[in-house]
Chain A
């Protein structure tokens, strides 16, 4: 039997990890993700899971240990945030190239400097080109559900790529929220008792070499399959989501459309901001404004066709980025979306708002300002910073 409980984002992720019962967890604590691993370590100490918990001395070592364990064929998880994720960067693309289905709880937090512990998406966005699937969560429930689905997606033979499921630091990670926790047995049945690995590093009868040197003549051929798997993963993500919906009732996609069907003005956002934006859209709708939102749940692979299809009838669109590429051409989400629309016959006018860096508040009046600006989208600059003091 599932049960309704109150859990913070971190507690929800730790609970999903307990139910997933991975074979190996290697992690190093960092705010605001510390609790996930701390709670999970207690589960290990209390004998509630069979996990081999590796307390490493840095995130670089954590991801290295994850790669080794996953190459050995077992189910592996970890959790981190911000500078911790940055310290993993060197190993993240190796996990993808080796096609290891490691699943990570990633709590979105600003990257230094200045030092800041609060939410933005800079850490995760900077990791977008390492071959990891990236799933964003609006709230604790989505984080919990997506973490369970991530095991299935990552371990699917058509994918075999590492996957990170993210929550927004403090806003979700430390907010007590109402969520439905599934029955332990149902989770086990959904993800399967064990990972089915083709190659096992420790199979003495069939010894393998892992982590090879590939030069000019082979490296390219070993990178392209990552792109192909990323492309193929879209179908798998939807299949897993469908099965999850049939079994447990909550439906997920690559994107979520909120009152978009007849929308004339719309925003695109990721994570917790989407929940706040829903309130603003309801308020605008009550006044007769045809406002809507597209929430990106899966940022890698990037659902370009789905986004173009969902937004083609919108007249004016604001893309909200909680991070910057520092290219002077807008944030990561914005540049992807503009690129996706390049070939489209019908497209909205698009502007970019970079907001909420370092946990800067994003509230209802600010989101109203964004929608207000769409009335005069021709007068908007390509990129503007929302809520920054001039």
Chain B
């Protein structure tokens, strides 16, 4: 606690700069992660518009990847992906699929 600021130096009314989540890894409690398959992707950007955490990285109007520092693994992108028969985004367990080797 000692390194945290005291009440006299905090901003009045707890009003702080917006968008500070960018400075933190807010995705570290994800249990499942979306995995992107570029070869299937049609770049419709449904995932980008649906993502509640702005974690779909888009460059020049093309899907280019996922910001795993902030993705919380909600799965909306995979749900909304319209590509058939196999979706371009699939949810996979966060910790891989290792099994006990004993």
Q: Which A residues fall within an 8 A CB radius of B?
A: 71, 97-100, 160, 198-199, 206-212, 214, 217-218, 220-222, 224-225
A-B CB contact pairs (8 Å), 23 listed:
A98-B13, A98-B14, A98-B15, A99-B12, A160-B12, A199-B13, A206-B17, A207-B18, A207-B19, A208-B15, A208-B18, A209-B17, A209-B18, A210-B13, A210-B14, A210-B15, A212-B14, A217-B4, A218-B10, A221-B5, A222-B7, A225-B7, A225-B12
> Does the CB pair B17–A222 fall under 8 Å?
no
Q: CA A188 – CA B13 in complex, angstroms?
A: 27
Interface assignment of B20: CB less than 8 Å from any CB of chain A: yes
Q: CA A242 – CA B102 in complex, angstroms?
A: 84
Closest CB in chain B relative to A201 CB, distance in Å? 9
- The A interface is mostly helix, strand or loop, or mixed, namely loop
Closest CB in chain B relative to A181 CB, distance in Å? 34
Collect the chain A residues with CB atoms within 8 Å of residue B15's CB: 71, 98, 199, 208-210
Interface assignment of B22: CB less than 8 Å from any CB of chain A: no
Closest CB in chain A relative to B17 CB, distance in Å? 6
Q: CA A277 – CA B38 in complex, angstroms?
A: 84
Closest CB in chain A relative to B93 CB, distance in Å? 29
> Does the CB pair A221–B16 fall under 8 Å?
no
Chain B interface, number of residues (Cβ within 8 angstroms): 16
Q: CA A100 – CA B13 in complex, angstroms?
A: 8
Collect the chain A residues with CB atoms within 8 Å of residue B85's CB: none
Q: CA A97 – CA B1 in complex, angstroms?
A: 22
> Does the CB pair A225–B16 fall under 8 Å?
no
> Does the CB pair B7–A209 fall under 8 Å?
no
B34-63, CB under 8 A of A: which get 1 and which 0?
000000000000000000000000000000
Collect the chain A residues with CB atoms within 8 Å of residue B7's CB: 220-222, 224-225
Collect the chain B residues with CB atoms within 8 Å of residue A212's CB: 14, 16
Closest CB in chain B relative to A223 CB, distance in Å? 8
Interface assignment of B6: CB less than 8 Å from any CB of chain A: yes
Collect the chain A residues with CB atoms within 8 Å of residue B4's CB: 217-218
Collect the chain B residues with CB atoms within 8 Å of residue A97's CB: 13-14
Question: In chain B, what residue has the closest Cβ to A160?
Answer: B12
Collect the chain A residues with CB atoms within 8 Å of residue B20's CB: 209
Collect the chain A residues with CB atoms within 8 Å of residue B19's CB: 207, 209
Question: In chain A, what residue has the closest Cβ to B1?
Answer: A217
Q: CA A218 – CA B16 in complex, angstroms?
A: 13
Closest CB in chain A relative to B16 CB, distance in Å? 5
Q: A217-B1, A217-B4 are in contact. Are A208 and B17 (CB under 8 A)?
A: yes
Collect the chain B residues with CB atoms within 8 Å of residue A98's CB: 13-15
Question: In chain A, what residue has the closest Cβ to B13?
Answer: A99
> Does the CB pair A198–B12 fall under 8 Å?
yes
Collect the chain B residues with CB atoms within 8 Å of residue A224's CB: 7
Q: CA A207 – CA B13 in complex, angstroms?
A: 15
Q: CA A126 – CA B85 in complex, angstroms?
A: 63
Closest CB in chain B relative to A70 CB, distance in Å? 10
> Does the CB pair A207–B16 fall under 8 Å?
no
Q: A217-B1, A221-B6, A222-B7 are in contact. Are A207 and B17 (CB under 8 A)?
A: yes
Question: In chain B, what residue has the closest Cβ to A217?
Answer: B4
Question: In chain A, what residue has the closest Cβ to B19?
Answer: A207
> Does the CB pair B10–A225 fall under 8 Å?
yes
> Does the CB pair B16–A209 fall under 8 Å?
yes
Collect the chain A residues with CB atoms within 8 Å of residue B13's CB: 97-100, 160, 199, 210, 222
Q: CA A239 – CA B16 in complex, angstroms?
A: 31
Q: CA A209 – CA B23 in complex, angstroms?
A: 15
Closest CB in chain A relative to B36 CB, distance in Å? 30
Collect the chain B residues with CB atoms within 8 Å of residue A218's CB: 4, 10, 14
Closest CB in chain B relative to A213 CB, distance in Å? 10
Q: CA A198 – CA B19 in complex, angstroms?
A: 19
Q: A207-B17, A207-B18, A208-B18 are in contact. Are A221 and B10 (CB under 8 A)?
A: yes
Given contact pairs A217-B4, A222-B14, A225-B8, enumerate 11 new A-B contacts (beta carbons under 8 Å).
A98-B15, A99-B13, A207-B18, A208-B16, A209-B15, A209-B16, A209-B18, A210-B15, A220-B7, A222-B13, A225-B12
Closest CB in chain A relative to B97 CB, distance in Å? 35
Q: A217-B1, A217-B4 are in contact. Are A222 and B10 (CB under 8 A)?
A: yes
Question: In chain B, what residue has the closest Cβ to A229?
Answer: B12
Q: CA A208 – CA B11 in complex, angstroms?
A: 11
Q: CA A10 – CA B1 in complex, angstroms?
A: 51
Q: CA A98 – CA B6 in complex, angstroms?
A: 18
